[in-house]
Structure 1
Amino acid sequence: MLHRRPPCDGPLFIVLNLRSGEHDGQDPVQAIEAVLREAGRPYELLKVERPDALKSTAARAVERARERQGVVVAAGGDGTINSVAQAVLDTGLPFGVLPQGTFNYFGRTHHIPLDAGEATRALLGAQPEPTQVGLVNDRIFLVNASLGLYPKLLEDREVFKRQYGRTRWVALWSGLVTLMRERRQLLLRIEHEGEARLVRTSTLFIGNNSLQLEQVGIPEAESLDQGRLVALSVKPVSSWAMLGLVLRGAVGRLGDADHVVSFDFRRMEVSPVVAPGRRARLKVATDGETTWMAAPLSFRVAPQPLWLLKPPRPQDGEAGPAAKTASSAA
């Protein structure tokens, strides 16, 4: 039943994270409501002002959508979209996105405009399409999951944003600072395709977003269309060498680097190598949000899709609103 295309003409229940991203002086609430009032579409706006209220607000939106055969919509960055999608996935309800974050990989991948008003108009004409979801144990990820250096980058980025503002330049600067001072390594036991091996790495990155993987030059990006995920690990290198890898990624050549190993898979188990008697836990980031998880970690594709409301794709050679904004956001 969950694999049947759900109806998408019911009322919209919009979970709006007021703390997400940059708005360039635009009030996203006014922009969203103006479009919906003009269209005459019933909606309910559920505003989130504190991060700890996001999960309960998403659950309330799902309950309301079930009662009225409606649509659950996430308005925020990739972390907000992840949290709301986590509540929606097992229900089979249609799921809409109004991107409001800093990088917005998920919205850009699916050609959803970044402007709040344009995204709302696109949502009204969108149709539900099955979309692949990654799982690490019982948590979903739509863009990526990671261990090691990447979660540290995300935590430091949040500290910088609280001090200096939620902009892309602040995010990039904080990333450079972390790269130059972080030297910890992980020793992991990785098992997939019936083989197990020990890997020492500063970071293990699992991708589920073709745009992000293609931008940095990972050749396995096309495997996502075949129901697989893509793993990327970095061999131990100096801080300066790591910076060089970042620059390679910026020009789309990370997959050519000698210190980078990438491969696609359907299922993979990961455990840290720890002393006997010690509790095996790993800090995991999923779509920008970090949490501690008990090992082993099982990475796989969710058995059911997320029914994402996608606007029509631009014709070849035609740059739609999302594509135009994406080029300036990259």
Structure 2
Amino acid sequence: MSAPSFQSDCPLFFIMNAGSGRNDKSETHDIIERVMQEAGRPHRICLVDDAGDLSRVAREAVEAAKECGGAVVAVGGDGTLNAVANAVIGSGCAFGALPQGTFNYFGRTHGLSEQIEDAVQDLLHATPQAVQVGMLNDRIFLVNASLGLYPQVLEERETYKQQYGRSRLVAAWSGLATVCHGYRQLRITLEAQGNTSTLRTPTLFIGNNRLQLEQIGIPESELIEDGQLAAIAVRPVGTLALLWLMVWGAFGKLGEADNIINFGFSRLTVKPSKLYHVRRIKVAMDGEIAWMNAPLDFRVSPEPLYLLKAATRPQAEESANA
């Protein structure tokens, strides 16, 4: 599909998840409204109170945008961006993002400001640019997808966030606590590039974000620019060894650890061991938990997502230090 026909005066349809992100939603709403009115740009802001309605509202916004040549903009964390992007891709509409989450890997990689007013101003002068996204079965992911321990970490992280707030420190502490509480080993079969192997691992992580992979020290980060995804798996280890691997990752040296398996691929099929007769597998995509039918088919999406990017803002990885 060719790039969407998008003009600088096209309407923008904003989808805000009231339960996502770290900023006050009323303040964010008011800033978007003010900037758009000052620019005289047609727009609509949809505030979604129930996360279960997010996909439906996004689909409705896509249909409205298609009728007037507009674009759909997600406001929130990576999970909110994921839900809206799944509605937009393949529709012929451009996708905009105002990142408001804890880590914002997608936004930072593509040079999107985390300051809401700057980000909205950038949208006013942005043009659609093709960006790679990954696919897991029939859904796309922007940053990463995983199974095993990592989805468990994300689930328990939400409990900690509700108690202690949203911050990167809380996210790191909750991850340590989850590992210490115990975890199961996966028994899976991997098929990629005509090769089949059996693996026992606590977690399998698939990355589509160069910034995130670079920060933890995975050399396959460069493959993202060449149209591939990166796979990371941990060999069977005890709790102390796994905690030590987390330290390696925190210092950007995970790829040098002996207990790490990492490789690039364009398509990877993951099947659970025949011993377990598992039909559905819990996975995480961009921080959101879902159940998928086995086998799991990871691949680069055959069509890109057309992201609204301002040509004047540099790539954010130059200034991101988290």
State the TM-score bracket (shorter-chain normalisation): over 0.9
How big is each residue's C-alpha offset from its partner over 1:228-278, in whole Å with a ceiling of 9 and x where there is no partner? 1110000111111111111111111000000001000011100110337x3
Q: Any stretches of 5+ residues in structure 1 without a counterpart?
A: none
CA–CA distance in structure 2, aligned partners of residues 323 and 51 of structure 1: 33
Which position in structure 2 is the counterpart of 1:290? 289
Secondary structure at the aligned position of 1:170 is classed as helix
Distance 1:308 1:8, change over 3 A: farther
- Separation in 2 of the partners of 1:65 and 1:267? 32
The corresponding residue for 1:306 is: 305
Hey, what's the Cα distance between the residues in 2 that align with 1:74 and 1:299?
24
Label 1:63 to 1:5 Cα distance change in 2 as closer, same or farther (>3 A): closer
Partner of 1:155: 155
Distance in 2, Cα, partners of 1:292 & 1:242: 25
CA contact (8 A) 1:8 1:94 kept: no
1:281 aligns with 2:280: yes
The equivalent residue for 2:124 is 124
Partner of 1:181: 181
Note if contact 1:99-1:112 (Cα within 8 Å) is conserved in structure 2: yes
Q: Give the distance between the partners of 2:76 and 2:307, measured in 1 at CA.
A: 15
* Cα distance between partner residues in 2 of 1:57 and 1:207: 28
1:242 equivalent to 2:245? Answer no
1:232–1:263 CA contact under 8 A, matched in 2? yes
Partner residue of 1:64?
64
TM-score, length-scaled by structure 1 = 0.93
Shift of 1:314: 4.5
Q: Which residue of 1 aligns with 2:208?
A: 208
CA distance in 2, matches of 1:18, 1:8: 29
Q: 1:193 and 1:28, CA in 2 relative to 1: closer, same or farther beyond 3 A?
A: same
Shift of 1:291: 1.0
Give distance in 2, aligned partners of 1:256 and 1:4: 40
Query: Paired residues, what number?
Result: 321
Distance 1:150 1:181 in 2: 13
Q: Counterpart of 2:108 in 1: which secondary structure?
A: helix
1:164 alignment counterpart: 164
Output one character per residue of 1:10-67: Cα deviation in whole Å (capped at 9) or x when no partner.
1000001122222279821112112111111111001011111111111111111011
Measured at CA, do residues 5 and 57 of structure 1 come closer, stay the same or move farther in structure 2, by a change above 3 Å? Answer: closer
- Contact 1:5/1:129 (<8 A) preserved: no
| One-letter amino acid matched to 1:174 | S
Retained in 2: the 8 A contact 1:126–1:312?
A: yes
SS in 2 for 1:90: coil
Counterpart AA for 2:123 = L
Show the 5 A alignment for 1:99-118.
Answer: 99-118=99-118
Distance in structure 1 (CA, Å) of the matches to 2:227 and 2:169: 34
Q: Distance in 2 between matches of 1:25 and 1:128?
A: 26
User: Structure 1 residues 116, 190: CA separation in 2 closer, same or farther (over 3 Å shift)?
Assistant: same
Alpha-carbon distance in structure 2 between the residues aligned to 1:64 and 1:75: 18
Cα distance change on mapping 1:40 and 1:78 into 2, 3 Å = same
Alignment partners' CA distance in 2, 1:30 and 1:307 = 27
Residues 86-115 of structure 1, C-alpha deviations (whole Å, 9 max, x = no match): 000011211100011111100000010001
Percent of pairs identical after alignment?
Answer: 50
CA distance, structure 2, for counterparts of residue 306 and residue 313 of structure 1:
20
Where 1:27 maps in the other structure, the secondary structure is helix
> One-letter code of the match for 1:303?
P
Contact map agreement 2:267 2:300 (CA 8 A) in 1: yes
1:69-128 CA-partner distances (Å, limit 9, x unpaired): 101000010000000000000112111000111111000000100011111011112111
> Does structure 2 conserve the Cα–Cα contact (< 8 Å) formed by 1:147 and 1:205?
yes
Identify the residue that residue 30 of structure 2 maps to in structure 1. 30
3-state SS of 1:262 partner: strand
Moved over 6 A (4+): none
